[in-house]
């Protein structure tokens, strides 16, 4: 079993839709959870990070962590064509040196 699992998609939605992107993880000791966004032909960039369980909101983006289910989500409200990108969940191995990345979900938002 991989430490972090993410459906690679692709996911295609109409403009204005609510998008839900998800990852599952296996290690209950993980405490920090990150989401990176990667546009085509670019390097990933940090979008949001959360600590422990709960929600964190930043504009149209909400990151949610459910530690009991080992499940993390990124919601995008009022999705825009400019949100078309690959979204990678990332979980730092706290106290260690490695950050584990999910496979990334390709999102297409159609105008």
Chain contacts with other proteins (rule: CB under 8 A):
8, 32, 34, 41-46, 49, 88, 92-104
Nearer to other proteins, 20 or 92 (CB): 92
Least distance in angstroms from the C-beta of 87 to other proteins: 12
Number of neighbours of residue 77 by Cβ within 10 angstroms:
13
Instruction: Compute the half-sphere exposure of residue 102: CA atoms within 13 Å on the CB side of its CA.
Output: 30
Q: Distance between CA 16 and CA 38 in Å, rounded?
A: 20
Nearer to other proteins, 32 or 75 (CB): 32
Least distance in angstroms from the C-beta of 74 to other proteins: 16
Nearer to other proteins, 18 or 46 (CB): 46
Q: Are 8 and 72 in contact (CB under 8 A)?
A: no
């Amino acid at each position: 079993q991989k430490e972090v699992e993410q459906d690679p998609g692709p996911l295609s939605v109409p403009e204005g839709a609510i998008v839900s992107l998800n990852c599952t993880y296996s290690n209950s000791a993980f405490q920090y959870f990150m989401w990176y966004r990667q546009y085509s032909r670019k390097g990933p960039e940090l979008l949001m990070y959360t600590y422990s369980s709960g929600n964190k909101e930043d504009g149209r983006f909400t990151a949610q962590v459910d530690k009991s289910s080992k499940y993390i989500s990124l919601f995008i409200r009022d999705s825009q064509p400019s949100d078309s990108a690959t979204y990678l969940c990332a979980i730092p191995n706290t106290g260690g040196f490695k950050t584990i990345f999910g496979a990334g979900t390709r999102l297409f938002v159609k105008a």
